[in-house]
Structure 1
Amino acid sequence: MIYQDTIEFAQLQDEQDELRSFRDEFMFPKHNGEKAIYLCGNSLGLQPRAAGEYIKQQLVNWEAYAVEGWFMGNEPWLDYHKALLPSLSGLLGANENEITVMNSLTVNLHLLMVSFYKPTNKRFKILMEAGAFPSDQYAVESQVRFHGYDPKNAIVEVAPREGDVTLRTEDIIAQIEDNADEIALVLFSGINYYTGQLFDMEAITQAGHKAGAMVGFDLAHAAGNVPLKLHEWGADFASWCSYKYMNSGPGGISGAFVHEKHFGNDKLDRFAGWWGYRRDKQFLMQPGFDAEIGAQGWNVSTSPIVLMAMHKASLDIFERAGGIQKLRAKGDKLTGYLEYLIAQINQKLGEEVYRIITPEDQSQRGSQLSVVCRRNARATFDYLTANGVIGDWREPDVIRISPVPLYNSFTDAYLAAKALFKAISATGS
């Protein structure tokens, strides 16, 4: 696509966008009585208009059936989670029996590491990217300490080369190979939260398995953002949150993937609960844990139906939009347009005031651009917010801007870029 730095071009693209109607299915915060330019779906997705109705239906069921709601009505709660699996299967590239919906992301990572981080005297290291989201760092540190190891010795972090901001796949693989005799687990993000870099999960999985390690992924910024093929890639496990690109509400329900190759492995430890017991005998209340076949055997606690209802409200929109491939195509166009507009700003100013650190190669990023502001960075971000452009701030000088294809437009990108340009003079830089 040949981009143009005009409002007419942006509006024409919006008119030709086959996904444009989905914008009306979301609720935008207001600025001066008008929709704000919301470019923060990487942190919290917008509320689907239908979310309230989905919640209301469950409140109606609660009122009508009380405890019998677990077994009665059009959507009995006991199996409500199954209604989420077809959509998630398409988004994650996984079989339905490899997916469960439960808890929150870091809790799930801990539960999965109980099964898949099995250190020995020889193999005890966990390899991860340097600069992973702090929650992942804390989870990994606590896991290795729990097993009696010093994080300084047990955690291998892969950092960018000097002068680089993002990682090179060959360096990740080289680190795995260099530590092949000692790695027990490779745990990587699908997309790095800070830079927006999309990692080659297939290559990482292959290298980790070749080294004899288990391989898992934190898909917080990847799920609902980019196409995934967890089953095909052979990843051992993964988890994600639903409140970012999947628009399922603040603190929304998480999910977990366990590859089916592990279903028959009775040597895998797990923290068990009644909700993960095999369904055909669940109500016999017998002693001794007998896991449900599939990822649902990793469930621990009762399904939070209201959270799942919010999740379903958004997943149903994904289904009607035609799936992740269509969204990915539009997302590439939106981020490409914003990238072009930022380059135009720098050209007008005669210097690179705004430097994009997210990879230029679209195959190595999703719907996110991380922009280093080289003049009055915090003041620039505050100016954007004050003028109805909602992005995301990361110390010391990065503004994350994420045009989400389900509800963002080319006009959003155009107006956001204009605000970035005006911020230069408005902040005295």
Structure 2
Amino acid sequence: MFEVSKAFAEEQDQKDILAPFREQFYFPQRNGKNATYFCGNSLGLQPKNVKAAIDQELYDWQQCAVEGYWGAKNPWLYYQQYCSRPLTEIVGAGQDELSVMNTLTVNLHLMMISFYRPTKQRFKVLMEAGAFPSDQYAVETQVKLHGLDPAEAIIEVSPRQGEHLIREEDIFRIIEEESSSLALILLGGINYYTGQLFNMQSITDVAHKAGALVGFDLAHVVGNVPVKLHDWKVDFAVWCSYKYLNGGPGAVGGAFVHEKHARNRNQQRLGGWWGNEEATRFKMEKGFEPKGRAEGWQLSTAQVFNMVALKASLELFESAGMAALRDKSIKLTNYLEFLLKQIENINFEIITPKNCKERGAQLSLLFHDRGKDIQQKMTEAGLIVDWREPGVIRISPAPLYNSYGDVFHFYEIIANIDSNA
């Protein structure tokens, strides 16, 4: 299927229906040339349409001032909806189940205020060992907020001895063993370190049968792997938009709340002006009346200038379509894996699942020695990759702007790195 040749990579790029999207992005420069960028799982590239989008909002602010809320080209009163609408296909949800707001960890705290309601019997949270630190910090402090001991309330599911990946049966076993005490399962949809994609549908089914609620951190999923949050009956999910969604550094985050919760105005939550029912918002009266949808979790006025880059990027996603992006992503990542397996002079292993249905656009390479030196040589050769302690280089071929030629160039560089350096 694959070949170790530049000609093969060029042929695949010529056949690629998504290849034109590459020209819609700016690439960092190295020695007067475009760098080979495989860091979209940390920060996506800047779409070229962002500048015009920002200029439009600056112009409307200049011309309209406060009247821009209803008189701008894109009226600011409804700005979050310009982003939530295209996200419906990406995350498999109704628009009423989505809210674009805040940042990931802020949204996680807001969701846990609503969905982590511990009782004397049900108070435990199950999460993956080695979750991204901000998730660990959020859960730890939420548990303490309820006067509980994190050592007792937090259960971590780990890879087995000598393994790198978490087995699904171990997740199910813990859920069954702790079925009477579990309040919440909170997992990263994709583990940031290994790139393991969890079976969110199966986990949600098993957790619900045990009487627990389920939430996911989709930072490495949204814009990477299509999901069906509504159909899978996930209770809530949160994500950032600066990785695969190319929303820019520190860009606005997002949240999903299943309609069974979103429509329940009595669902516990923290209130804010922008989450109040629009029909009564401007009466300026006491008494929080939340919207009967996910926007009822919004606190403050829409962050127009923190959403504009995401809005521009999502226009490209709508044009490309998640199905086509996922198809190319699988092929690109499989091609990268194929080429890496040809390398014999460097001591590393791929710790990301081999099954393409259990990963997204990322391979994590665990170097047993000289990993940092090799990463430095990659940087000097114009490759931008991601280093994670203690010895992993993450490679992320994003299908919107990466090519087969990028992947082959990466292989040529790493294959010729002197392993004794």
User: Taking structure 1 as the reference length, what is the TM-score of the superposition?
Assistant: 0.97
Alignment of 1:252-267 (within 5 A): 252-267=251-266
Q: Is the 8 A contact 1:385 1:391 kept in 2?
A: yes
| Secondary structure in 1 matching 2:43 | coil
Q: What residue number does 2:15 align with?
A: 16
Runs of 4+ in structure 1 over 6 Å off: none
Q: Distance in 2 between matches of 1:130 and 1:73?
A: 47
| Secondary structure in 1 matching 2:192 | coil
Q: Is the 8 A contact 1:97 1:294 kept in 2?
A: yes
For residue 375 of structure 1, what is the amino acid of its counterpart?
D
Q: Distance in 1 between matches of 2:95 and 2:165?
A: 33
Q: What residue number does 1:190 align with?
A: 189
Q: Is the 8 A contact 1:342 1:354 kept in 2?
A: no
Gaps of 5+ in 1: none
C-alpha RMSD over aligned residues: 1.0
Alignment of 1:302-317 (within 5 A): 302-317=301-316
What whole-Å deviation, never above 9, does each CA across 1:182-228 have from its counterpart, x for those lacking one?
Answer: 01110011000000000000011111111111100000000000011
Query: 1:386 aligned to 380, 389, 397, which one?
Result: 380
Query: 1:339 aligned to 328, 332, 337, which one?
Result: 337
For residue 189 of structure 2, what is the amino acid of its counterpart?
G
Q: Distance in 1 between matches of 2:215 and 2:390?
A: 30
Q: Distance in 1 between matches of 2:292 and 2:308?
A: 24
Q: What residue number does 1:136 align with?
A: 135
Q: What percentage of residue pairs aligned between the two structures are identical?
A: 51
Q: Distance in 2 between matches of 1:85 and 1:162?
A: 42
Q: What residue number does 1:420 align with?
A: 414
Q: Distance in 2 between matches of 1:160 and 1:86?
A: 38
Alignment of 1:91-102 (within 5 A): 91-102=90-101
Q: What residue number does 1:320 align with?
A: 319
State the 1:242 CA deviation: 0.3
Q: Is the 8 A contact 2:265 2:291 kept in 1?
A: no
Alignment of 1:222-301 (within 5 A): 222-301=221-300
| Secondary structure in 1 matching 2:126 | strand
Q: Distance in 1 between matches of 2:142 and 2:55?
A: 40
Alignment of 1:173-188 (within 5 A): 173-188=172-187
State the 1:332 CA deviation: 0.6
Q: Distance in 2 between matches of 1:181 and 1:16?
A: 54
Q: Is the 8 A contact 2:126 2:154 kept in 1?
A: yes
State the 1:308 CA deviation: 1.2
Q: Distance in 2 between matches of 1:379 and 1:169?
A: 35
Alignment of 1:77-156 (within 5 A): 77-156=76-155
Q: Distance in 1 between matches of 2:385 and 2:363?
A: 10
For residue 80 of structure 1, what is the amino acid of its counterpart?
Y
State the 1:267 CA deviation: 4.1
Q: Distance in 2 between matches of 1:14 and 1:82?
A: 35
What whole-Å deviation, never above 9, does each CA across 1:99-131 have from its counterpart, x for those lacking one?
Answer: 010000000000000000000011100000111
For residue 338 of structure 1, what is the amino acid of its counterpart?
L
Q: Distance in 2 between matches of 1:296 and 1:373?
A: 44
State the 1:296 CA deviation: 0.3
Q: What residue number does 1:357 align with?
A: 351
State the 1:266 CA deviation: 4.3
Q: Does 1:73 align with 2:67?
A: no
Q: What residue number does 1:369 align with?
A: 363
Q: Distance in 1 between matches of 2:43 and 2:295?
A: 26
Q: Distance in 2 between matches of 1:264 and 1:89?
A: 17
State the 1:169 CA deviation: 1.0
Q: Distance in 2 between matches of 1:302 and 1:419?
A: 48
Q: Distance in 2 between matches of 1:294 and 1:184?
A: 23
State the 1:74 CA deviation: 2.2
What whole-Å deviation, never above 9, does each CA across 1:369-402 have from its counterpart, x for those lacking one?
Answer: 0001233110000110111100100111100000
Q: Distance in 1 between matches of 2:340 and 2:141?
A: 41
State the 1:339 CA deviation: 0.4
Q: Is the 8 A contact 2:265 2:292 kept in 1?
A: no
What whole-Å deviation, never above 9, does each CA across 1:24-79 have from its counterpart, x for those lacking one?
Answer: 00000011100000000000000000111111100000001001101113211001
Q: Distance in 1 between matches of 2:260 and 2:132?
A: 29
Q: Distance in 1 between matches of 2:76 and 2:203?
A: 38
What whole-Å deviation, never above 9, does each CA across 1:283-327 have from its counterpart, x for those lacking one?
Answer: 111110000110000000111101111111100000111x11110
| Secondary structure in 2 matching 1:131 | coil
